[in-house]
Structure 1
Amino acid sequence: MRWLLNTVYLLLLTVLSPFIAWRIVRHGRYRRGIAEKLLGRLPQSNDTRDVVWFHAVSVGEVIQLQKVVHEFRRQTADRFRVLVSTSTDTGYDLALKRFPDCQVTWFPLDFSWAVDHALRSVQPSMVVLMELELWPNFLAECQRQQIPVSVINARMSSRSHRGYSRIHSLMAPIFGRLALVAAQSQSNADRLKSLGVSHDRLHVTGSIKFDGVATDRRNPATEDLRSIFNLSPLETVFMAGSTQEPEERLALQTWIECRKEYPSLRLILVPRHRERFDDVAKLVRDAGADVLRRSSCETSNRLTADAVILLDTIGELSACWGLADIAFVGGSFGNRGGQNMIEPAAFGATVLFGPNTWNFRDVVQTFKEANACVQLDSPAELTATVARLLANPAERQSLGDAARRAVKSQSGATANTATLLTAILESQPANHAICQRAA
């Protein structure tokens, strides 16, 4: 089976090679971590403690993983060495900053030789996957080496569930190998159970994203950005974050139209992918507006009240949401299924998003039941909705207060998750790690 998968992966790699080469040349992607990804040559450590390997695909997962790792180390009195892996350039760079005292590396591609070499060199006591990053060869090799695999903050959208259900006979053994699945909600748990996750290994912990989010707009990171952007308390901030095309254009059009009646309205744009930063800056200039890029604030003198602010750095989105009075969460007018709307809600912003939020279905339901958000049916509604909210400060305040309360009511998933992970380790035979190494 693994050699069949290897053949499929190699064929896909061959077909995609022109696109990959273009991304390497155009955006500088995929150049780092070649040995780790293709050969599984993960770095060695002199630390003799047993290892727990945590994996987070990209930036969003790295941010959430930091909370889990901190609580896990607290509950286990730091008895384990923590290895953190990621799959993207931006995720790797952020992991280096967020885990300065942990080993950070790249996750191997799912070739049998790469995952075999990686697991034998690391010899982890447990592998922890953030959300739902399941690779057949990796999981099969973990089973061969008797390494328990846990999935935390797990979610399964209805759309993904339909896709997995079509290949149920192939996926059931993979899901059945998992030692622990900590699901974000009961509906996610039900979908995962129907795909083969064992009932006694399935737990509903809630979403980690609700834990540890900042709720005070006066926190140092947000205040630093407020000062850098020269934002006045008298100005109202409309922010569109984690956006994809054409959401920046829609937000820009809304800002231009609303400024006719509300000249103190400011706009902050935060594209989801860094390779689009230049394109979005050009979009703003082509519309006749100045653009202030966060990456050049220290050298730029173009600080005007008419400038559109472009947050073109990685790792500052969370703090930047604290500047927003009205927050549009992107990825919801396209085909990405939405983005995390919890952070702006925690700050008490008036949260808006489009109709396509299937990746955050349970979060959206929580906010809807609390009257804590506005979901738009189409892009055409954005300008009129923002204009209405600008004209009704009391409505904005009510929505924002409800959003903050909803976030606070959902906390506790991080501690529950860490407790379950600790229990998995404690349930292993005392000599498991020694036998594993000897094998």
Structure 2
Amino acid sequence: EVLHLNILSLATGYFLNNFLKSYSPQVFILVESDRYPALLSVKVERKFIVNARISGQSFKFLRIFRGFYARFFNTFDKIICKDRESCAKFRSIGVNSKILTPCGNLKAVFFPKAGSPPVLPKGFVLVAGSTHKGEEEILLSAFGEIKKRIPSAVLVIAPRHPQRAKEVLKIAKMKLPTFKTLLRSQVFNPHFKGDILIVDTLGELLGFYRIANVTFVGGSLVPLGGHNLLEPAYFGKPVMFGPFVEKFRDLEKLLKELGLAYPVKGVGDITATVLRIHGKGVNPKGDLKEISERILECYKRELQL
């Protein structure tokens, strides 16, 4: 049995131990959190931190109070770090090297079950997933230019919030009135023969990523921090994204290592990137599926699962 517990940073050891007595857990696993002093007194057989990291701001704080936090972190049986740099930071504040292991970023452990989507666009397919207001206009402007060079190009837009689909449809028809644009719910023929498809259904985005030639992950051309950059990469697809991906910098780094990262800033970048990929293709430097499996096996080994 697994119990998921969200711990408030002000929670006391007394409260936590009283709560945990009700469940008598054998293993306590803390995910990512930098510090919770109350956990010093948590009484369980085995304690772990997984996907452990220390942010730059936290590192400065922890170094000031390194004596206390070294004692805190050394109460854990194992601290499994997301990378070697994180392990080095833990060591520098006095954490015992014997309990530190770099296994990789758990956010990269991703095994999607996605078949082909019910609707299959024909041609060179650009899929823009999890888009937000302000991004569709940029994508549509770029697509207008792309279509001049790649007549077979098809654009699939999946707004982050499906209830915006009709709004996006209206924008598309205003910007590109000569293009055939439909909502996904309006298409019953499995072979879509239009120019732009707006996804207003749930659960189909991964399927569209799977059949795409090039992808874009939204929330990144507007200051929203981005969304999961690895979803298209699992299928070996090139991933375009804007400058606002501060929530996913670690995944951006992994994406670059895989040779699938294509940062863009606007219409010109998107147009040029798509044309370049269409002409030259991509040369992935790794397989995300293999990386996911390797990271997962490391965690299983260290946690003795």
Q: Is the shorter-chain TM-score for this pair beyond 0.5, marking a shared fold?
A: yes
Show structure 2 runs of 5+ residues with no match.
Answer: 175-180
- Is 1:419 matched up with 2:301? yes
Count residues with an aligned counterpart: 292
The alpha-carbon distance between structure 1 residues 284 and 419, as it changes in their structure 2 partners (threshold 3 A), is: same
Higher helix content, 1 or 2: 1
The 8 Å contact of residues 110 and 234 in structure 2, kept in 1 or not, is answered as no
Contact 1:210 1:408 in 2 (8 A): no
Q: Aligned residue for 2:2?
A: 82
Q: Deviations over 1:92-114 (max 9, x none)?
A: xxxxxxxxxxxxxx636554487
Where do residues 395-406 of structure 1 align in structure 2 (5 Å cutoff)?
A: 395-396=280-281, 398-399=282-283, 402=284, 405-406=286-287
Q: Which residue of 1 aligns with 2:199?
A: 310
Q: Name the CA distance, whole Å, in 1 between partners of 2:53 and 2:123.
A: 38
Q: Are 2:173 and 1:288 aligned?
A: yes
| Superposition map of 1:268-279 within 5 A | 268-272=156-160, 276-279=161-164
Choose from 38, 42, 48 the match for 1:140.
38
Q: Percent identity?
A: 24
**CA offsets 1:131-185 (integer angstroms, 9 cap, x no match):** x14563xx625733346432323345xxx32245246539836545443222222
| Contact 1:331–1:337 under 8 Å retained in 2 | yes
| Matched residue SS, 2:173 | coil
How far apart, in 1, do the equivalents of 2:226 and 2:97 lie? 29
1 CA distance for matches of 2:92 and 2:133? Answer: 35
> Is the 2:62–2:93 Cα contact (8 Å) retained in structure 1?
no
Q: Residue 30 of structure 2 aligns to which amino acid in structure 1?
A: L
2:123 to 225, 232, 235: 235
The equivalences for 1:99-178 within 5 A come to 107=6, 109=8, 111-112=11-12, 115-116=16-17, 118-130=19-31, 132-133=32-33, 136=36, 140-141=38-39, 143-146=41-44, 148-156=46-54, 160-166=55-61, 168=63, 169=65, 172=69, 175-178=73-76
Deviations 1:226-276 (A, max 9, x none): xx2x224x322212234455434432332344234434323233445xxx4
Q: What is the alpha-carbon distance in structure 2 between the residues aligned to residue 361 and residue 420 of structure 1?
A: 26
Is the Cα–Cα contact under 8 Å of residues 214 and 274 in structure 2 kept in the other structure? no
- The answer to whether the 8 Å contact 1:213/1:343 transfers is no
Aligned pair 1:181/2:63, yes or no?
no
Distance apart, 1:336 and its partner CA: 5.3
Q: Which residue of 1 aligns with 2:177?
A: none
Say if 2:296 is the partner of 1:407: no
**Contact (CA 8 Å) 1:241, 1:270: kept in 2 or not?**
yes
AA at the equivalent of 1:266:
V
Per-residue CA deviation, residues 304-330 of structure 1 (Å, 9 max, x unaligned), is 62442326536x544442122101233
Q: Is the 8 A contact 1:329 1:351 kept in 2?
A: yes
When residues 385 and 179 of structure 1 are mapped into structure 2, their CA distance, relative to the original with a 3 A threshold, is farther
Give the Cα–Cα distance (whole angstroms) in 2 for the partners of residues 242 and 178 of structure 1. Answer: 38
Once the 2 structures are TM-superposed, how far is the Cα of residue 350 of structure 1 from its aligned partner?
A: 1.9
CA gap 1:356/1:282 in 2 versus in 1, 3 angstroms: closer
Q: Is the Cα–Cα contact under 8 Å of residues 17 and 43 in structure 2 kept in the other structure?
A: no
**1:358-404 CA deviation, whole Å, 9 max, x = no partner?**
5554554455455443233x234433234423651xx22x33xx15x
In structure 2, the residue corresponding to 1:374 is in which secondary structure? Answer: strand
Specify the alignment match of 1:72 in structure 2.
none
User: In 2, are the aligned partners of 1:243 and 1:270 still within 8 Å (CA)?
Assistant: yes
Distance verdict in 2 for CA 1:121–1:255, change over 3 Å: farther
The whole-number CA distance in structure 2 between the counterparts of 1:333 and 1:155 is 27
CA distance in 2: counterparts of 1:245 and 1:142, whole angstroms: 45
Given the two structures, how large is their TM-score scaled by the length of structure 2?
0.74
Which residue number in structure 2 is paired with residue 78 of structure 1?
none
Contact 1:325/1:349, CA 8 A, preserved across alignment: yes
CA shift for structure 1 position 417: 0.5
3-state SS, counterpart of residue 288 of structure 1: helix
Q: Say if 1:222 and 1:323, in contact at 8 Å, map to a contact too.
A: no
Partner Cα separation in structure 1 for residue 214 and residue 139 of structure 2: 11
Contact residue 351 and residue 373 of structure 1 kept, 8 A: yes
- Normalised by the size of structure 1, how large is the TM-score? 0.54
Question: Which letter maps to 1:186?
Answer: R
Q: Which residue of 1 aligns with 2:215?
A: 327
Distance 1:374 1:205 in 2: 26
